[in-house]
């Protein structure tokens, strides 16, 4: 099997590449960082084809001949740009999927395209339960771009018969994660002995450990042809514990006692009708279809993540 990964030098892209190479598949991918700067790929870079190119510039020749494409390209994440740079966020999160889908549409034999979407960013609600069939109703600009990208994928599936799968990952964390994600920022500030400003303190999120995410995609490969046209939940933890940002910080402080914080303001969209975002999730469809469920508790995943950062903090200095 031949697999192409956009954003292959990123957190999920690099780990998927490593998994698929271990499984014996041929792997290629693109990213915006130079080959020598793609440190997350340092153990496998010589075993794959690396294209130093933005997803904006992908053409049919880049993706022709692959069986599956995993679209992990983030382009512009919610931090540090997000709501502070609306134009960049809208263009940066919508144009790359459009270019990729156009490239795939022009292939004589079209690969299955798996779009790695979000979960927490899609739902600006309080008190609701979300399933795989719940329509997005985002409350911030970043969530809007993810919802629009999902719609774009479905339009290409219906109008041009591009085989697609949408996978919604709850906020993922783990070794090698981005330094701008909340668990990483809390860990880094704790290890440096700096006080952290914790914004949106009571807003809740569903966090998923990276090993569970990888196991999800392993299971997805086994039944991928049965999943075309579906939206699936690659999110959750053992017990599906959904915590506020303060609760997350408290768990991390158990592993890093030096961590201290002060409460900050709420970020745009984190308050709905004056109430912090809070929700529950029902992933029955996904878990029955793939025979998959998370194996790591939130606490166990955070413990492993903290231990990794203690050994690799130099990468973020």
The mean per-residue pLDDT over the stretch 230-257 comes to 96
Longest dimension (CA), the chain: 57
Helix 298-312 to helix 210-222 angle (10° resolution) is: 110
Report the alpha-carbon distance of residue 168 to residue 254 in Å, rounded: 29
The first and second tokens of residue 253, run together, are 């402080």
Q: How sure is the predictor about 266, in pLDDT bands with cuts at 50, 70 and 90? A: very high
User: Exposed, middle or buried: residue 274 (CB in 10 Å: 0-12, 13-18, 19+)?
Assistant: exposed
CA torsion sign, 107 to 114 to 184 to 200? positive
Given a contact cutoff of 8 angstroms between Cβ atoms, the answer to whether 73 and 49 are in contact is: no
Domain ranges, ordered by start, for the chain: 2-177+207-240+279-295
pLDDT in the model for residue 143:
87
CA torsion sign, 33 to 39 to 40 to 41? positive
Phi, psi values for residue 42, rounded to 5°: -60, -25
The mean per-residue pLDDT over the stretch 238-263 comes to 97
Report the alpha-carbon distance of residue 267 to residue 76 in Å, rounded: 17
Neighbours of 173 (CB within 10 A): 25
CB under 8 Å to 280, separation ≥6 — which residues?
Answer: 128, 129, 130, 240, 242
Of 38-42, 89-93, 223-227, the poorest mean pLDDT is in: 89-93
pTM of the model: 0.94
Q: Give the tens place of pLDDT for each residue, 55-98.
A: 989 999 999 999 999 999 865 544 555 566 778 788 888 899 99
Question: Of 205, 219, 237, 235, which Cα lies nearest the Cα of 301?
Answer: 237
Report the alpha-carbon distance of residue 185 to residue 166 in Å, rounded: 28
Please identify which residue in the block is written with the tokens 């080959």: 35
pLDDT in the model for residue 76:
55
The helix or strand, by DSSP H or E, that contains position 51, with its residue range, turns out to be strand 49-52
The mean per-residue pLDDT over the stretch 260-288 comes to 92
Fold observed for domain 2-177+207-240+279-295: Rossmann fold (3.40.50)
Report for 89-93, 125-129, 157-161: range of highest mean pLDDT: 157-161
164, pLDDT greater than 90: yes
The mean per-residue pLDDT over the stretch 23-47 comes to 96
The mean per-residue pLDDT over the stretch 181-198 comes to 96
125, pLDDT greater than 80: no
End-to-end CA gap in the chain? 38
Which comes out higher in pLDDT, residue 121 or 46?
46
pLDDT in the model for residue 122:
84
pLDDT in the model for residue 222:
96
Q: Mean pLDDT for the chain? A: 92
Q: How sure is the predictor about 141, in pLDDT bands with cuts at 50, 70 and 90? A: confident
With a pLDDT cut of 90, the percent of the chain lying above it is 77
pLDDT in the model for residue 151:
96
Which comes out higher in pLDDT, residue 91 or 161?
161
Given a contact cutoff of 8 angstroms between Cβ atoms, the answer to whether 15 and 36 are in contact is: no
- Grouping H, G, I as helix, E, B as strand and the rest as coil, residue 35 is helix
Q: Give the tens place of pLDDT for each residue, 103-120.
A: 999 999 999 999 999 888
Which comes out higher in pLDDT, residue 160 or 118?
160
Report the alpha-carbon distance of residue 283 to residue 124 in Å, rounded: 18
Of 102-116, 149-163, 272-286, the poorest mean pLDDT is in: 272-286
The first and second tokens of residue 142, run together, are 């970043």
The first and second tokens of residue 300, run together, are 């166990």
With a pLDDT cut of 70, the percent of the chain lying above it is 97
């Amino acid at each position: 099997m031949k697999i192409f990964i956009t954003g292959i030098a990123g957190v999920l892209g690099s780990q998927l590449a490593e998994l698929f190479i271990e499984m014996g598949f041929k792997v290629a991918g693109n990213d915006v960082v130079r080959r020598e700067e793609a440190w997350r790929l340092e153990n496998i870079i010589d075993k794959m084809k690396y294209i130093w190119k933005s997803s904006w510039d992908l053409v049919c020749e880049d993706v022709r001949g692959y069986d599956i494409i995993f679209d992990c390209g983030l382009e512009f994440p919610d931090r540090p740009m997000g709501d502070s740079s609306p134009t960049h966020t809208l263009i940066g999160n919508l144009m790359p999927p459009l270019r990729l889908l156009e490239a795939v549409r022009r292939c004589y034999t079209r690969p299955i395209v798996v779009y790695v979407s979000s979960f927490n960013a899609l739902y600006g609600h309080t008190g609701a339960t979300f399933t795989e069939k719940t329509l997005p109703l985002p409350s911030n600009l970043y969530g809007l771009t993810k919802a629009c990208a999902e719609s774009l994928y479905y339009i290409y599936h219906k109008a041009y018969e591009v085989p697609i799968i949408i996978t919604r990952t709850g906020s993922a964390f783990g070794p090698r994660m981005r330094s701008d994600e909340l668990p990483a920022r809390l860990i880094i500030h704790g290890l440096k002995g700096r006080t952290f400003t914790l914004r949106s303190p009571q807003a809740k999120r569903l966090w998923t450990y990276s090993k569970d995410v990888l196991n999800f995609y392993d299971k997805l490969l086994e039944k991928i042809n049965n999943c075309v046209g579906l939206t699936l939940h690659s999110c959750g933890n053992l017990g599906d514990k959904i915590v506020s940002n303060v609760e997350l910080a408290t768990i991390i402080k158990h592993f890093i006692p030096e961590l201290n914080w002060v409460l900050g303001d709420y970020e745009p969209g984190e308050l709905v009708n004056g109430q912090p975002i809070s929700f529950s999730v029902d992933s029955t469809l996904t878990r029955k279809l793939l025979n998959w469920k998370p194996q790591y508790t939130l606490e166990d995943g955070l413990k492993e993540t903290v231990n990794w950062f203690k050994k690799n903090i130099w990468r973020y200095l």
